[in-house]
Structure 1
Amino acid sequence: MSRHRDIRNMDYLDDYDGYDDVYGHSVEDDYYISPSNRQFIYNREHSTRSSEGDIKEEDESEAQLTDLEKTKVESCIDQIKETLGSISISRNDLINMIMKESFNVEKIINTILETPRVQPEPVKEKVNIQSTTAQSELPTIKVVSTPKTATNVTKGFDLPQKEARPPVLTPRSQSPSSDRETPTNLPNVDASEDLKTPKIRENKLDVQQVYQKERGDGKEHLYMVVIGHVDAGKSTLMGRLLCDLGQVNQRIMHKYEQESRKLGKQSFMYAWVLDETGEERNRGITMDVGRFQFETDTKIVTILDAPGHKDFIPNMISGAGQADVALLVVDATRGEFETGFDAGGQTREHGLLVRSLGVSQVAVAVNKLDTVAWSQERFNEIVAKLKAFLKQVGFKDTDVTFVPCSGLTGQNLVSKPTETELISWYDGSCLLDVIDKFRSPERPVNKPFRLSIDDIFKGTGTAFCVSGRIETGCLTVGDKILVCPNRESAIVKSLAIDEAPQAVVFAGDQATATLSGIEMQNVSVGNVLCDPTSPVQVASQFQARIVVFNVTVPITKGFPVVLHHQSLVEPVVVSKLISQLNKSTGEVLKKHPRFLGNNTSAIVEIKVSRPIALELYSECKELGRVMLRVGGVTIAAGLITKIIL
């Protein structure tokens, strides 16, 4: 080490004549041949490479961009290259153009294609050089222009014929490539008449056409959430429906029957089709959202069996957020219906929640009607109460259907009833036909891509998977996406629906995506995947128009609540009460009210402890809805009207 320290202290700028003798000297000698630190450092003054100033100038525009803008720029550049191929525009100019056009790829490509072409310089034809005897004088070059001859059109540029070139400048010995003076500073584009209307989307996905091609001929896919008070028989009803449709193996059902009989819970054998965990079977209640799929004549229906117990309302909200339609199950047994429907029961709360989450169609299965001897009076009594309530919540009469049935006996589920007492007064559709008549909602496939994450798990290999409902747009394998609110980019390696691989998925699908290019710990449940060129908004403060339900304590300024936004659960504070509104007309009744009581409507400002991904209700209904809960009770639902950045 001492040797090297001595070497660094040497000054090799001084003349020394004894270098031939010092080779091989020991560390005790006075001089060594290792270079000094000043000699070793690269001298930029004598370098022919670009100076630091030039380098900074080249990257100046890109250095000023934020991480989000850099991601969007990279996505735009990839799309431009896919459409135009190689381009000769510098990266700096391209970035400036992208920022000027606000990341609109079609406008950028149009601008590139409509840029005036640089014409080649005129060929210097007859060249006469008059030499002089004086050495100090430079030769005089005289250019004589000649009329332009016939040309060939290659790649859109006018190239002179070989005959027009003077033999002095194009000798025969030259290679054929030298006959052509193709400018190198022009974009590599085709110069046909079609440039005025370029086919920008030639290499892009025409979403509507692909959607019609992929899904147009098949059955419509419908997601149905099953809701209702605890012990209303939701899982048993759905399990019996699946068994009667042949979706469950008879051997498995025999196994469930034997096991449930040993536990003294034989009536739960059909519920075990959807309640698969040991804890759910031991406790006899649904705790998480169960999933199963069956087909009707015109639809493929995915059941989302939501828990009815009040302790698992967050799981129910997560399931209802994925649903297109709802099946509300009520217990017709005397006393049981009243328990679920009266204040504190989940029948009312579930009805409020699904309507607030955007579900507009509901079928009501009046279950266990066999316990009251198929009484028409009992059925009519339940229908009258529920019809008034559901209309008050916001459901239209034409979008609500009531079906008498029994999940345990299987009456009126997949075929017409056979019970004499029921046939005597009911001649309507069975439950399967009612489900088949549900209207499929319109899928917003043309909007920018949005996916709300409701589960994260480790996949095969080094990648990991996220699953959730695609709210808007479409997603294909290989797409670049942005994970918000962290605003980190990732690449989609594969896609699947119900474990079946897919090349493309659309709005309304419950899909699983395998991601790469991002760490698993940087992704959370409640995050939103979005298109980098049109990212979702991220903010920690927003205004919402809410409807207050039954509250024991009035909502005041600074009131702490729990926010439910899709799968996201976040503590928030009602920071301002802006105005109280008329529930019917939306007219402002009072500005800056002191509190909000039961059954009131208002515009409030909500502050979140950390930024979250959200959208205005007017732009994206799916991501513009929120729920407010306190102490395990839903106290309000609202629509986002303004995002405060």
Structure 2
Amino acid sequence: MTTTEPAFAPADSLLRFATAGAVDDGKSTLIGRLLHDSKSLLADQLEQLEVASRERGDEELDLAMLTDGLRAEREQGITIDVAHRYFETARRAFIIADTPGHAQYTRNMVTGASTADLAIVLVDARNGLTEQSRRHAVLAGLLRVPQVVLAVNKMDLVDFDEDVFRTITADFAEFTAKLELQEITAIPIAALRGDNVVDRSAATPWYDGPSLLEHLETVEVAEEAGRFRMPVQLALRAQEQDYRGCAGQIAGGSVAAGDEVLHLPSGMRSRVVAVDTADGELERGRAPQSVALRLAEDIDVGRGDLLCAAEHPPVAAEELTAAVCWMSPKTPLTRGARLLLKHTTRVVKAVVTEVGERLDVTTLERSPANSLQLNDIGEVTLRLAQPVFCDSYADNRFTGGAVLIDEAGHATVGAVLISDAR
């Protein structure tokens, strides 16, 4: 049991996952059940939950209150913001993003799932797949989330009927066949009671798979595939120790002493002398580890630069075509809009030269559009004042993603998934 954010856990032991689904499907209750039954709550947290539940007149603990932290969420009984929670078991550390179910909070779902290794899509066993369930499955596919769990919740309310579970699983498989989802695992659960959440339940003798927590503890977290990429966050210098290092988070592939790397934008090549961390040197650094690279040559490296595989560099692009999820409630995205594009550690000015088709995330149909409103997702072309060093989002979620920032107020107004760079 711990209350410490697992920032120091080994990269391969950390799982980031997001929960999604329709309103009232039980996302917050599920997260509360995971925290409670895995004994990841401190005594004072449990006491506060007991007191709050008594004040509400509840006989049982209201586990949803562990994640529904905003007053507006508690009053309405829904999730509005993305609630992040951290917990550990003996086998793995977890970062949870509990995302909203309402369609008007699509941008929150995009934010919460953009860095997830796994997405849990909850479905109420009584209702089957809903428009919101389909929406969240589509977003998981669009965001290239590697693993998806279909959690068929509230099985106790349908008497743990196997046929209900199999029907929903088949419907989900048929719908997601059109999506680019890599692996789907279906688990029947009853979050309020705890069936198949942490421990396997005797109420589902027809199900021989793992509980949800068992699956989360054992699912493989793939390394960021592809060629080596490391956006530079900081140049480290310690003159008294004659130390020079390039610090950043590895965004793809791996790197070791002796590897030849390319520095962008200079185009200079160098060999890696050492891969350093706060705990000492590594034989090989892998995504998503944060490291400092010592280079053989004295190259002028600074924030916003990129170190990459010398023979396989990304595109130095001044024009991007991308899927954009528009997040501004005030102003629609239109042709001619001037914004800032933040790509990895680099920020450049951008102009919207074209707004193309809008995607309906429940039907997958596309329609012509001249603008994008709040929560719309559409194809957009951007012209940049300076190049960014990027891959397609399909090849690398980190170097293929970016955000759009309002120049005046500096608010984040768009999420960018690059499809073509030139």
Pairwise TM-score range, normalised by the shorter structure: 0.5 to 0.7
1:392 to 2:178 alignment: yes
Q: Which structure carries more strand by proportion? A: 2
Please give the alpha-carbon distance, in whole angstroms, between the structure 1 residues aligned to 2:150 and 2:140. 13
Structure number, greater radius of gyration: 1
Deviation string for 1:46-84 (max 9, x for gaps)?
Answer: xxxxxxxxxxxxxxxxxxxxxxxxxxxxxxxxxxxxxxx
Letter of the aligned partner of 2:200 in structure 1?
K
> Partner letter of residue 369 of structure 1?
M
1:231 to 24, 29, 32: 24
Q: Distance in 2 between matches of 1:284 and 1:387?
A: 30
Contact 2:254 2:287 (C-alpha < 8 Å) held by counterparts: no
2:209 paired residue number: 428
1:445-594 superposed matches below 5 A: 447-450=228-231, 471-472=251-252, 508-509=287-288, 530-531=306-307, 541-544=319-322, 573=352, 575=354
Residue-by-residue CA offset, 1:485-539 (whole Å, 9 max, x unaligned): xxxxxxxxxx99xxxx7678965548799xxxxxxxxxxxxx9674599998776
C-alpha distance in 2, partners of 1:229/1:242? 21
Q: Is the 8 A contact 1:541 1:605 kept in 2?
A: no
Once the two structures are TM-superposed, the CA of residue 302 in structure 1 deviates from its matched residue by: 2.5
Is 1:402 aligned with 2:192? no
- Cα pair 1:573 1:608 within 8 Å, conserved: yes
Alignment partner, residue 195 of structure 2? 411
Contact 1:230 1:285 in 2 (8 A): yes
Of 313-322 and 271-280, deviating more is: 271-280
Secondary structure of 2:178 counterpart = helix
1:356–1:637 CA contact under 8 A, matched in 2:
no
* Counterpart for residue 290 of structure 1: 84
TM-score, normalisation: structure 1: 0.42
Ranges in structure 2 where 5+ consecutive residues have no aligned partner: 1-8, 234-247, 256-262, 266-275, 293-302, 326-333, 358-366, 371-377, 405-414
| Secondary structure in 1 matching 2:191 | coil
8 Å contact from structure 1 (residues 565, 623) kept in 2 = no
- Out of 295, 305, 309, which is 2:102 matched to? 309
User: RMSD across aligned C-alpha pairs, in angstroms?
Assistant: 4.9
Aligned to 1:352: 138
CA contact (8 A) 2:317 2:388 kept: yes
Q: Which amino acid aligns with 1:413?
A: V
Structure 2: distance between partners of 1:622 and 1:321: 9
| Separation of aligned partners in 2, 1:402 and 1:533 | 38
**8 A contact 1:626–1:640 mirrored in 2:** no
Is it true that 1:369 corresponds to 2:145 in the alignment?
no
Partner of 1:640: 419
Query: Which has the larger share of helix?
Result: 1
1:490 corresponds to which residue? Answer: none
Q: State the one-letter code of the partner of 1:449.
A: M
> Which residue of the other structure, out of 375, 380, 400, is the alignment partner of 1:624?
400
Structure 1: 5+ residue stretches without partners = 1-213, 453-467, 476-481, 485-494, 514-526, 549-556, 579-593, 598-602, 629-635
- Aligned mate of 1:607, from 354, 377, 382: 382
C-alpha deviation, 1:571, in angstroms = 9.4
Query: How many angstroms apart in 2 are the aligned matches of 1:295 and 1:445?
Result: 30
Letter paired with 1:432: L
Q: Deviations over 1:271-322 (max 9, x none)?
A: 232334444434433312312122364x433222223233332232122111
C-alpha contact 2:153 2:189 (8 A) present in aligned 1: yes
Q: How many residues align?
A: 333
RCO higher in structure (CA 8 A, sep ≥6): 2
- 1:442 is matched with 223
